[in-house]
A and B are shown apart, each in its own frame.
Chain A
Amino acid sequence: MAKAFLSGNEAFAYGVRLARPQVISAYPITPQTIVVEKLSEFVEDGSLNAEFIHVESEHSALSCAIGASSVGARAFTATSSQGLLYMAECLPYAAGGRFPIVMMNANRSTALPWNIYGDQRDSLSQLDSGWIQAFAENAQEALDLALMSFYIAEHKNVSTPFMANLDGFVLTHTYEVVDVPTSEQANAFLPKYETENKLDLQHPRNLAFSAGPDTNTIFKYKEHIGILNSKSVIKEAEDRFETIFGRRYSGLTESYRTEDADYIIITLGSIAGLVREVVDALRQEGRRVGLLRLRYLRPFPNEEIANAVKNAKAVAVLEKDISFGNEGTVYTNVNSALQKAGINIPNSNYIGGLGGKNISAEEIRTIFDELKSQKSAVKFLGIGGVANGG
């Protein structure tokens, strides 16, 4: 291991290099560009032996990655926001074909209005596409996730594409000191990609076919089982990762001081760092508060959420997302987990950070304050108006 001072994007690119993808399709979009720039430098300096393809759009970026994966090559691409939406047709295509492509998505607002800054509406709008979706909190986790994502996606019981999300700018462009593993360690962690789900000159196949009403459900069921199987494979990958690299991750969620907490904020991505600080500060004041960070949105951590909040008096979901006409999508998912577990406590939804708007420590304190008294509600941070109850 060596220490390096890297941005989230750079850390992810270092992780991708350690994973040795054979084909990289690249199309630039802010704030993802540094990932593909860095990877092109690695290919140029010979430290990464990959076919680097300058595709002419995001649709082609993912279509090209699907082509590469369909012949058994390890494939990587990266995108953000409008780019993710432009390639949206290819997302369920890759998942339905069971092609374990890894893609980094720099979470960014979607137009209109135009905005290049971070929120999570891009990838959350694609939760139903059949991809595993993970959300990193910091640059170290970004690098480690890059390496683990290939292991999880390519596992024969999973065979499902993996979208690793990094908050635009806040994470993609913030520099931190990061441990960079050696390639020997990475090679020991990540085996060569082997699959029978490929076009093979020795055993010709027809792939990506049609399946009519009689058989379609069977394929979709198997796809569902594949992504559910990733739960145990994520644990397996993290155990293996700890053995080799000495760093421990906590599966689909990360609980922080939730054991005896009365009030818990559930959130995802880089904002978790600030919530953790506020939790520490409030604990100093004797208040029993905690943080539950969702590391994965698909597969969804139903049991983990229920276990973490079962003794709480109230919870809030803080997310950089809104499903217009309803509420935040993470909140909807969390409510389903609580309902299934029979947990009937007030739970509120705070929509914040849209288009890169800063979420302050003070606002997070306020959320904890409001949890003490209020009933379930959906609120936009920092805005009044009818949706916030006047």
Chain B
Amino acid sequence: MAVNAKNLNETEFFYGHKACAGCGGSLAVRIALKVLGENAVAVLPAGCMSAVGFNFPQLCFGNNAIISTFAGTASMLTGVEAGLRAQGITDFHAVGFAGDGGTADIGLQALSGAIDRNDDILYICYDNEAYMNTGIQKSSLTPFGARTTTTPAGKNIRGNLRPKKNLFEIVAAHGIPYAATASVGYLNDFMRKVEKAKSIKGTKYIHILAPCPTGWGVKTDETVDIAKEVVDCGLWYLAEYENGAFTLNHQPKEFSSVESYLRKQSRFKHLTAEDIEIITQSRDAKWEFIHKNFN
């Protein structure tokens, strides 16, 4: 039976931490560990999740967990996996949880290396679209137009000028055994993907959009709603890459309003109608690509 909210493991593996109220990243980590179970061996780089969960003597992981260097999530996972296997231990899941900066910027080289070697690891990127732990600075996964503390929205420059890096397809281009996108707004879909990744040998990558109320400027009880809406308006999508092919998992019947999604967040409040049109057009171009290339 597929894992769902009813049969999900009731044991908590990540609790007592000091994440901000409404943290999408901690929700992704908590749910993934429930699916993976007590034999998950987690590697988390310097970043939000390690900052909130590993403060001696208050250590918040019920399973084995270790902080890696910022750039070293994937390489440390490789060592953990190889080290256990070399000792004849096989009943474990080596899983990494890194943010967008730790994955798409500073950790990309190590991630690419691990995929290239096809190390038997699961890498989960919780994407909150900026360096939130250091106070909301732009990463390469910050979307176009977003205001961060290093892409201020002023008269001359209106926030981040560059589009979000397409990391899912960059990862897929390695010929990885399994990659998927997800959102904390669609947790059943995420749980199913973690469950699936658990059974696949080789490198697995799941990219889950995980809103940060502090950085996005939404209320702390709106995390799940906004994570749902980003999928519903078509600015994020739920898909998988397996056996060399892309599959779209969820096709909204009709897109909800991009403008309405953007206007709910203070990081986008400066956007002009023209900016919103650019974002809408890029969404449409992306979906044209998806319809052409995804099953």
Closest to B117 in A: A54
Bound-state Cα–Cα, A200 to B41, Å: 9
A200 touches B64 (CB 8 A): yes
The stretch from B74-82, B193-201, B225-233 touching chain A is B74-82
A3 within 8 A of partner (CB): no
B257 within 8 A of partner (CB): no
The stretch from B105-113, B247-255, B282-290 touching chain A is B105-113
How many positions in chain B have a CB within 8 Å of any CB in the partner chain?
A: 47
Q: Known interface pairs A206-B60, A209-B55, A212-B55. Does A75 touch B83 (Cβ–Cβ under 8 Å)?
A: yes
B55 touches A210 (CB 8 A): yes
**Using an 8 Å CB-CB cutoff, how does the interface string of B28-60 with A read, 1 for contact, 0 for none?**
000000000011010100000011011111011
A22 within 8 A of partner (CB): yes
B163 within 8 A of partner (CB): no
Closest to A67 in B: B79
A207 touches B66 (CB 8 A): yes
**Using an 8 Å CB-CB cutoff, how does the interface string of A57-74 with B read, 1 for contact, 0 for none?**
101110111111111110
Q: Which positions 91-142 of chain B face chain A at CB distance < 8 Å? A: 91-92, 109-110, 112-113, 116-117
Q: Which positions 185-226 of chain B face chain A at CB distance < 8 Å? A: none
Bound-state Cα–Cα, A68 to B43, Å: 12
A208 touches B109 (CB 8 A): no
A56 touches B113 (CB 8 A): yes
Bound-state Cα–Cα, A69 to B71, Å: 18
Q: How far is the CB of B278 from chain A (nearest CB, A)?
A: 36
B56 touches A215 (CB 8 A): yes
B244 within 8 A of partner (CB): no
Q: How far is the CB of B142 from chain A (nearest CB, A)?
A: 24
A53 within 8 A of partner (CB): yes
B72 within 8 A of partner (CB): yes
How many positions in chain A have a CB within 8 Å of any CB in the partner chain?
A: 41
Q: How far is the CB of A336 from chain B (nearest CB, A)?
A: 31
B80 touches A199 (CB 8 A): yes
List residues of chain A with CB within 8 A of the CB of B77.
67
Q: How far is the CB of A21 from chain B (nearest CB, A)?
A: 9
Q: Known interface pairs A23-B79, A209-B55, A209-B67. Does A204 touch B62 (Cβ–Cβ under 8 Å)?
A: yes
Q: How far is the CB of A221 from chain B (nearest CB, A)?
A: 15
B64 touches A209 (CB 8 A): no
Q: Known interface pairs A63-B76, A204-B63. Does A71 touch B110 (Cβ–Cβ under 8 Å)?
A: no
Q: Known interface pairs A75-B83, A199-B41. Does A64 touch B64 (Cβ–Cβ under 8 Å)?
A: no
Q: Known interface pairs A53-B117, A63-B68. Does A204 touch B38 (Cβ–Cβ under 8 Å)?
A: yes
B83 touches A70 (CB 8 A): yes
Interface centre among A71, A208, A211, A212 (most CB of B within 10 A): A71
A89 within 8 A of partner (CB): yes
From B43, B51, B63, B86, give the contact of A73 (CB < 8 A).
Answer: B86
Bound-state Cα–Cα, A204 to B14, Å: 13
B84 within 8 A of partner (CB): yes
List residues of chain A with CB within 8 A of the CB of B84.
71, 73
Closest to B43 in A: A67
B263 within 8 A of partner (CB): no
A206 touches B61 (CB 8 A): yes
Closest to B61 in A: A206
B92 touches A63 (CB 8 A): no
A312 within 8 A of partner (CB): no
List residues of chain A with CB within 8 A of the CB of B78.
25, 53, 55, 60, 64, 67
B71 touches A68 (CB 8 A): no
Bound-state Cα–Cα, A59 to B64, Å: 23
Bound-state Cα–Cα, A51 to B82, Å: 6
B1 within 8 A of partner (CB): no
List residues of chain A with CB within 8 A of the CB of B76.
63-64, 66-67, 70
B89 within 8 A of partner (CB): yes
B87 within 8 A of partner (CB): yes
Residue positions of A touching B, CB distance < 8 A: 22-23, 25, 50-51, 53-57, 59-61, 63-73, 75, 89-90, 93, 199-201, 204-212, 215
For the complex of A and B, the 6 pairs showing the least CB-CB separation, nearest first, are A67-B79, A56-B113, A73-B83, A68-B83, A63-B72, A60-B75
Starting from the known contacts A90-B69, A93-B69, A209-B56, 20 additional A-B residue pairs (CB-CB under 8 Å) come to A51-B83, A51-B86, A55-B75, A56-B109, A59-B71, A60-B109, A61-B75, A63-B68, A64-B76, A64-B82, A66-B79, A69-B79, A69-B83, A70-B66, A71-B41, A75-B83, A199-B41, A199-B65, A207-B65, A209-B54
